[in-house]
Amino acid sequence: MMKNNISYIDKVRENILDHLKTYQHSETIYNASKYSIEAGGKGLRPLLLFTALEALDTDIEKGISAASAIEMIHTYSLIHDDLPAMDNDDLRRGKPTNHIVFGEAAAILAGDNLLNESFNVIAKDKNLSAEVRIKLVETISNRSGQSGMISGQMLDIEAENRKTSLEELESIHAYKTGALIKAPVLSACIIAQAAPEISERLEKFSEVIGVLFQIKDDILDLEGNPELTGKNTGSDAKKGKVTYISELGLNGAKEALAKKVSEANSILNSLDELISTAGLRKIVQMFAERDQ
Amino acid sequence: MMKNNISYIDKVRENILDHLKTYQHSETIYNASKYSIEAGGKGLRPLLLFTALEALDTDIEKGISAASAIEMIHTYSLIHDDLPAMDNDDLRRGKPTNHIVFGEAAAILAGDNLLNESFNVIAKDKNLSAEVRIKLVETISNRSGQSGMISGQMLDIEAENRKTSLEELESIHAYKTGALIKAPVLSACIIAQAAPEISERLEKFSEVIGVLFQIKDDILDLEGNPELTGKNTGSDAKKGKVTYISELGLNGAKEALAKKVSEANSILNSLDELISTAGLRKIVQMFAERDQ
């Protein structure tokens, strides 16, 4: 079941590359956009969307355009984040970042392109009703824009090298990382037309695993294997970034992680009579135990 | 009538600013996005959309979200275009460019934000049916993305300081500038649910005035009053840009402009029995005779 969902991540990548290829008019824009999609991440956001659809007993196929859009948005945000004016990173997932390969102008435009085309991919998906498609555009753009990720990126930059409270840290992450982990869960609820009592609890669930994801990210930055994470160990500390580690210490962060795991599972317990939670439980485990 | 449409440009700006204010979570993102919207252009794209709606005998009010979206996309493209890695401009419309005021990181994110939120503005407009809204998202994102403006920006950068043919020049402009002049006309046709015979001819009309607009732009770069255009005279030539002037000379460019004016009007002649073309004729005149 879970394995099947993972194979769907490849379908998402194929769908994105097909789209980029079909509508190309500048070779550079095509190559630069393709490069970062192929550099590929773990596909956790598509996986989450498909697993939520499965939990809601809905055809996974219906989630491909929304999963593609969210993956494109995630990818564009990494391209722009890596730019010299932002995080100034030369490596991402062990490969040269987009602007290192294609230059800054192309990297800015390729990022713009992936954001722009993400909404086109949903809009043209004739397997979904107009109502579902426009609701997806509204919800995803809400999470990826100034109500979510983009504000989070700005707040994160502004918090660098300045003391923040744990509360502020959680708020920044809710915007920066959490919003795009919430988006696939909300998208699945829209596609499955889930009842409000279910979608409200799944939304809360997505908030909890968003925090869990970020705590694990911070732990991996300190403890992870650079060959797996594709990042140098301790890079957050070097940049003076406020993280769960800098605020709670390593043990404190691990305790916080365990607490979030149990919180996520208890929400799933409350959903057990309404939906099939097995896949979502595996997601919680995967988020908490991942090594990259 | 035309005057009324111009007052609608203010409504578009209000609508955008209301949206930015309501959903703000980062003061910097809000201020930077607002700055470039308020720096305001001539609002020609909204004006074109409203005038086309009026020609199609459809309530102008219905075009506010689409016009807002297109104006936001136009504005984001200028913010990113002005960045050091792109055109590296310090002044736009006589004011310091976004990155000069807010820094590069904020300018990149504010651009991303305006692009992202443009689709949210359409998606949340409950005055339009879901079918119309999703068709608007599809059509506008198609014109603003790799099938249109973004590819045009890349092609334009790559053509700098290299000899191009007039044919290639027209193709670059069709993507870079033309696509976002076509978008408001296509949007009006979608909102008005215009008959194919009408929308096809209006699409052709929009292509002609897109070229006309660009020729006039190139002429203004040479002959314009810097106080009105907000740009230094001859800046294209200084940058070694291929323009209608560099290809045809000033007189040749003026002849080409006159030819496009007559082409646009002859399309409108062919539409005279189907729609009210008076407003669109004034647009042609305004595009050709503008001094900024």
Q: Which of residues 171-200 of B touch A (CB under 8 A)?
A: 175
- Min Cα–Cα distance to chain A from B258, Å: 29
Q: Is the pLDDT of residue B1 over 70?
A: no
Strand partners of residue B95: B92
Q: How many domains does chain A have?
A: 1
Give residue-wise pLDDT tens across range B180-217: 999 999 999 999 999 999 999 999 999 999 999 999 99
Task: Check CB contact under 8 Å for B120 and A145.
Answer: yes
Mean pLDDT of A224-245: 74
Residue A88 neighbours by CB distance under 10 Å: 12
Are A13 and A37 a contacting pair, CB within 8 Å? yes
pLDDT of residue A211: 95
Please tell me which residue of chain A has the smallest CA distance to B136: A123
Contacts of B138 in chain A (CB under 8 A): 120, 123-124
Phi-psi region of A194 (alpha: psi -120 to 50; beta: other; left: phi over 0): beta
Residue A151 neighbours by CB distance under 10 Å: 25
pLDDT of residue B62: 97
Partner B contacted by A250 (CB < 8 A): no
pLDDT of residue A159: 86
Task: Check CB contact under 8 Å for A115 and B111.
Answer: no
Look over chain B and give the mean of its residue pLDDT values, rounded to a whole number.
93
Residue A137's nearest CA partner among B142, B124, B63, B279 is B124
pLDDT of residue A3: 57
Partner B contacted by A142 (CB < 8 A): yes
Report the share of chain A in percent with pLDDT over 90. 79
Give residue-wise pLDDT tens across range A181-214: 999 999 999 999 999 999 999 999 999 999 999 9
- Min Cα–Cα distance to chain A from B145, Å: 6
Task: Check CB contact under 8 Å for A28 and B131.
Answer: no
Please tell me which residue of chain A has the smallest CA distance to B88: A105
Task: Check CB contact under 8 Å for A80 and B29.
Answer: no
Mean pLDDT of B274-289: 96
Which of A127-136, A140-149, A281-290, B233-242 is least confident?
A: B233-242
Give residue-wise pLDDT tens across range B146-175: 999 999 999 999 988 777 888 888 999 999
Are A154 and B29 a contacting pair, CB within 8 Å? yes
Mean pLDDT of A15-37: 95
For tokens 């595009």, the residue is B287
Q: Between the ranges A8-12, A241-245, B224-228, where is the mean pLDDT highest? A: A8-12
Partner A contacted by B222 (CB < 8 A): no
Contacts of A113 in chain B (CB under 8 A): 145-146, 150
pLDDT of residue A276: 96
CATH code of the domain covering residue A97: 1.10.600.10
Residue A40's nearest CA partner among A103, A4, A94 is A94
Task: Check CB contact under 8 Å for A119 and B119.
Answer: yes
Structural domain boundaries enclosing A175? 2-289
pLDDT of residue A6: 67
Q: Is the pLDDT of residue A7 over 70?
A: yes
Task: Check CB contact under 8 Å for B151 and A29.
Answer: yes
Task: Check CB contact under 8 Å for A26 and B130.
Answer: no
Those residues whose C-beta lies under 8 Å from the C-beta of residue B120, and which sit 6 or more positions away, are A137, A138, A141, A142, A145, B19, B23
At A92, phi and psi to the nearest 5?
-145, 125
Task: Check CB contact under 8 Å for B109 and A154.
Answer: yes
Q: How far apart are CA A198 and CA B287, in angstroms?
A: 54
pLDDT of residue B236: 72
Contacts of A153 in chain B (CB under 8 A): 109
**Test the B interface: residue of A17, A24, A86, A112 with most B CBs within 10 Å:** A112
pLDDT of residue A291: 84
Quick one: tokens of A41? 């991440």
